Amino acid sequence: MATPPYNPNIPSPNDPRNDPRWQRAQNKAWQAQARANRDAWRAQARAQKDQWRAYRRSLRRTSLVGPLLLVAIGVVFLLVHSGRVSVPNLASWYADWWPGILIVIGLFMFAEWGIARARRAADAPPVRYQLGGGFGFVVFLLIAGGIMASAAKEHNFDFSDMKMNGEDWDHFAGSKHENDPAPIVRALAAGSMVTIDNARGDVTVTGLSDDGKLHLTAHNEVYSQNDDDAQEKLKQLEARIVTTGDTMSITIPTIDSAHSDITAEVPAGTQVTVNANRGDVHVSNIKANVTVTANHGDIELKGITGAVIAHINQNSSSLVVASVTGPVSVEGRGDEINLSDIAGKVDVKADFFGGGHMQHIRDAVMFQSSKITFSLARLDGEVNIDGTDDFNVQQAVGPVAVDTKNRNITLTRVSGDVTVQNKNGEVQIGAAAPLGAVRVDNHNGSVHLSIPDRAGFTVQADTTDGEVHSDFSLASRSSENAGSVSGTVNGGGHAIRLTTTHGDIALRKADLAPLPAAPPALPVLHLPETPAMPELKLSSDPNRALAEAREAMKQAEKQMKQAQEEAKRDREQALKEANKQREDALKEANKAREEALSEARKAREDGLREARRAREDAMKEAARAREEALRNAHQNNQ
């Protein structure tokens, strides 16, 4: 058999590479090397990924939006906790403006991006700002709260019910325990001063004491899990009375989870000062000066013959002052203010976010707040202040001055000088005789002024992006973007200056009834007279004498109740008559105003009809002339 040629690539039969065991070992070695190479590649890739991630992290910065948002939320909670901002007003505002928070956050992030882009080098990568998951959760809560608040407001939810005064938390301290301590009676000298300090609880003071003494009663409530602890707190709530000269000080101790509602009857001529931290204050039928401070509660003052000073310090509280013969001074902040039947000056330096109402003030009124300032010399009618939209005055004697913005202003039947400054709203003024100087400076709104037909005045009215309409014969000038009238009426007189932008100006004729020289009489609150004590003829028998005395006391109490009911009926009747007279006067004034407006509208419509008729006649004449000219031209061509 021939021997095959030698091939160096084929191992000889005795070569170890032909051994299967060697081949398996070699395969294992190759597999181990492959795994090592794979692990090395993975480690290198992981190292590169970690290095890239670390590099990307080095380009990140923590955004300031998160800390700023937390600071803003903390400031809001601090204002709510301190009473500077009420929960109802905050909820109502947030329901309208919560999307603005997202806009502000976006603007801050855009500003951070712009600053980082401006500061980086040309060849450097941009810096990235991160917010974090916690910030996203807070933003989610803000969005959810805004959506729920908006939905609640659309369904007319009353946010004013969201009140949580300190005493509301007392219910969580345990069950309620209450008592009525024995009345306290103290002698008071004529013309004395009584000062009451009650940290937690309502205070009611009346000038109905007819025996020259103080009569003090209280109703105490304590919340506690332990009966013994509750009884101890009820004992500690006893009023502390200290008399120094002609001043008597009454102090109710401050006890946790407890409050005391007190009622004090004093002689009518006693000066009264009340300081209440958490609770309402009611003072009535006092023939002396009254000073009241309420930090977390409403104030009601009626039937005061003297000066009144009121300090109210919570946005959700209301103030009512009625039937006062002296001046009234108000400071602080609250929800609503109501002033009526006041003979003295009124000076208000406070913010009432819910608005207010005033009527029948015989002297000057000065109202100053962060949103509106107005003053007038006398108020025969009423003033209505809407929280944010409208401001209305009816029957006022000038000088009348109003300075505000974002409101529609209506002044009806006002006499004397009138000055109005406003932005973003309409101004309507109905001037009554005697006419004074009128100056209106408005922006983004129309101006309507009604003037007595026979009044003499000089006028200058200018508007931008609007027109000027006048019922008087005045020189007018108009252009594409402006209108103006000026001139003298009925020989001249007081100056009328009207300016506005983005709105029309109208001067109308209207004869409103003049206001009386003297203010109308105000209803007076009369104190109930104490009936005379019946003469007692006691029997010699002690038991029978005691029974007769008791019967006499019952008769006296019955007579007292009858006298009080009669006084109440007389007061209600007087108020009804006064309201009826006021309503009749308003009806007459409104009727005269409607008649004047009807005549003015009729005259205006007649004038428009005449103008249309004249225009149509002129157009017909022009058409005939044109046709005649065309005929002549055609004949000439032929």
Span 138-147, pLDDT tens digits: 788 888 888 8
Span 48-57, pLDDT tens digits: 777 777 666 6
| Cα dihedral 108, 112, 118, 122 sign | negative
Here the tokens at position 334 are 């609250």
Nearest to 471 by CA among 590, 615, 601: 601
Nearest to 400 by CA among 422, 383, 381, 417: 417
Distance of CA 178 to the CA centre of its chain: 36
The single residue listed with the structure tokens 């009144």 is 308
- The highest-confidence range among 131-135, 480-484, 580-584, by mean pLDDT, is 480-484
> Mean pLDDT across the chain, nearest whole number?
80
Distance CA 3, CA 610 (A): 140
* pLDDT for the residue numbered 165: 45
pLDDT for 409 beyond 70: yes
Contacts 24+ apart (CB under 8 A), 317-326: 318/354, 319/352, 323/522, 323/523, 323/524, 323/525, 326/289
Cis peptide before 434 (omega within 30 of 0): yes
* pLDDT for the residue numbered 128: 61
pLDDT for 126 beyond 80: no
pLDDT for 1 beyond 90: no
Nearest to 260 by CA among 203, 220, 205, 216: 220
Q: What is the residue extent of each domain of the chain? A: 62-161, 388-531+581-606
Percent of the chain with pLDDT over 70: 76
Where residue 106 falls among pLDDT bands split at 50, 70, 90? confident
* pLDDT for the residue numbered 283: 95
This prediction's pTM: 0.62
Asked whether 297 and 315 are in contact (CB, 8 A), the reply is no
DSSP 293: E
Please name the residues in contact with 7: beta carbons below 8 A apart, sequence gap of 6 or more.
none
| Cα dihedral 292, 294, 295, 298 sign | negative
* pLDDT for the residue numbered 527: 45
Min mean pLDDT across 2-6, 187-191, 545-549, 570-574 is at: 2-6
Distance CA 187, CA 365 (A): 39
Min mean pLDDT across 78-92, 118-132, 161-175 is at: 161-175
* pLDDT for the residue numbered 289: 95
Min mean pLDDT across 139-148, 337-346, 367-376, 591-600 is at: 591-600
What is the DSSP secondary-structure string of 115-153?
A: HHHHHS-TTSPPPEEE--HHHHHHHHHHHHHHHHHHHHH
Percent of the chain with pLDDT over 90: 31
**Residue-level length of the chain:** 638
* pLDDT for the residue numbered 357: 94
Backbone torsions φ then ψ of 600, nearest 5 degrees: -65, -45
pLDDT for 24 beyond 70: yes
Here the tokens at position 310 are 């009121």
Span 172-224, pLDDT tens digits: 556 778 888 889 999 888 889 999 999 889 999 999 888 889 999 999 888 87
Where residue 322 falls among pLDDT bands split at 50, 70, 90? very high
pLDDT for 455 beyond 70: yes
Q: How many CA atoms within 13 Å lie on the side-chain side of 551?
A: 11
Where residue 590 falls among pLDDT bands split at 50, 70, 90? low
pLDDT for 493 beyond 80: yes
Min mean pLDDT across 310-319, 431-440, 451-460, 548-557 is at: 548-557
Here the tokens at position 237 are 């709530």
The single residue listed with the structure tokens 């080095």 is 58
Asked whether 304 and 325 are in contact (CB, 8 A), the reply is yes
pLDDT for 442 beyond 90: yes
Where residue 528 falls among pLDDT bands split at 50, 70, 90? very low
* pLDDT for the residue numbered 75: 84
pLDDT for 163 beyond 50: no
Please give the single-letter amino acid code of residue 634. Answer: H
Min mean pLDDT across 318-322, 365-369, 499-503, 569-573 is at: 569-573
What is each CA distance from 238 to 8, 207, 280, 294, 381, in whole angstroms? 122, 23, 19, 21, 46
* pLDDT for the residue numbered 12: 61
Asked whether 52 and 120 are in contact (CB, 8 A), the reply is no
